[in-house]
């Protein structure tokens, strides 16, 4: 199938094949290589990076990486920011560039959990690690210089799916309160029944075949729940204000659009942006004007949503 990619992205599309989720170890190595080639973000002010170990009920504990901007008058917002990688790849280094940029330009403390990966640890292991990171952030708000009323959750791809699930869990269980939800090309629906999930079988970085494998690994044969696949939530009323960004030629496009539309229908203030000519994770091609626009939209949305 041919795609009308943005002219600045098109030359790279053929050189960015999907990771092979049939080989989790190989896919992890491939993602590490991809991220190592990304240009580092150079912050305008000093961002302090620190790792902490957070207890997880019934689990071994999870390492979280804190990105702390310079102290300012009064408490700062925070963003719990799970990394991307189809629930089975990625680590603390995966989100370093994005997290540093957010801490620097938004002025938020970013909390990035190194959650357990499938298939070795299927749902709910990784999700419980992220939930523990959110609860720890709220419980340690004073120590972190964070305003507990301005804690948001967000993520790209699988990280977006985990962020949406955290917002659902906080709503259902009475906290910690989440003030904003930021989702960029989020992975939300294991049913893969949307038009884009059916049509995009050969798209760069992510295609239908790898989506099938991703969900198989993550669910581990268990019964899907809204905390695993947030698109399955029967009710979205009561979720925080949200920003949802989707890529035009991405199997995940239509589930992101549908989720944003459902949020609006449930009375949630939500913004939806579709980036033309883009493919899954093409924001990593930072030279392109459309990628710069995606990043600028992210920073502006987080500033507004977190009251920064």
Strand, coil or helix: what is 223?
Answer: coil
CA angle 104, 297, 161 (to 5 degrees): 90
30 closest CA partner among 88, 115, 109: 88
List % helix, strand, coil for the chain (3-state, nearest 5): 40, 20, 45
Q: Is 287 exposed, middle or buried (0-12, 13-18, 19+ CB in 10 A)?
A: exposed
Residue in 91, 147, 250, 254 annotated catalytic: 250
Choosing from 157, 170, 196, 291, which is the catalytic residue?
A: 157
Q: Is 142 a catalytic residue?
A: no
Say how far apart CA 56 and CA 116 lie, in whole Å: 11
190 carries an active-site annotation: no
Q: What is the secondary structure of 131-178 as a DSSP string?
A: HHHHHHHHHTHHHHTEEEEEEEEEEETHHHHHHHHHHHHHHHHT-S--
In angstroms, the Cα distances linking 224 to 127, 177, 245 are: 13, 24, 24
Q: Is 297 a catalytic residue?
A: no
Catalytic residue set: 157, 250, 280
């Amino acid at each position: 199938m041919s795609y009308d990619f943005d002219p600045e992205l098109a030359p790279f599309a053929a050189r960015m094949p999907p990771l092979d989720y049939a080989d989790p170890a190989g896919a992890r190595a491939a993602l590490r290589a991809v991220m190592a080639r990304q240009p580092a973000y150079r912050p305008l002010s000093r961002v302090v990076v620190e790792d902490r170990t957070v207890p997880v009920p019934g689990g071994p504990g999870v390492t979280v990486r804190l990105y702390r901007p310079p102290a300012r008058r009064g408490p700062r917002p925070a963003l719990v920011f799970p990394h991307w990688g189809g629930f089975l790849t990625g680590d603390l280094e995966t989100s370093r560039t994005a997290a540093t940029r957010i801490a620097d330009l938004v002025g938020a403390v970013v909390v990035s959990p190194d959650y357990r990966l499938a298939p070795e640890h299927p749902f709910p292991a990784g999700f419980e690690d992220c939930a523990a990171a959110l609860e720890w952030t709220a419980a340690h708000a004073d120590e972190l210089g964070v305003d507990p009323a301005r804690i948001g959750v967000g993520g790209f791809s699988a990280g977006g799916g985990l962020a949406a699930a955290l917002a659902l869990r906080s709503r259902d269980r009475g906290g910690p309160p989440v003030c904003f939800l930021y989702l960029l090309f989020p992975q939300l629906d294991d049913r893969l029944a949307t038009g884009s999930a059916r049509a995009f079988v050969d798209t760069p970085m992510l295609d239908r075949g790898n989506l099938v494998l991703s969900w198989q690994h993550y669910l581990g044969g268990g019964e899907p729940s809204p905390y695993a696949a947030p698109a399955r939530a029967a009710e979205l009323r009561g979720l925080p204000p949200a920003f949802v960004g989707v890529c035009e030629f991405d199997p995940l496009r239509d589930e992101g659009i549908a989720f944003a539309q459902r949020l609006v229908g449930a009375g949630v203030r939500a913004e939806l942006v579709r980036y033309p000519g883009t493919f899954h994770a093409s924001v990593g091609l930072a030279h392109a004007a459309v990628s710069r626009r995606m990043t600028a939209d992210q920073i502006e949305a987080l500033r507004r949503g977190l009251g920064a």
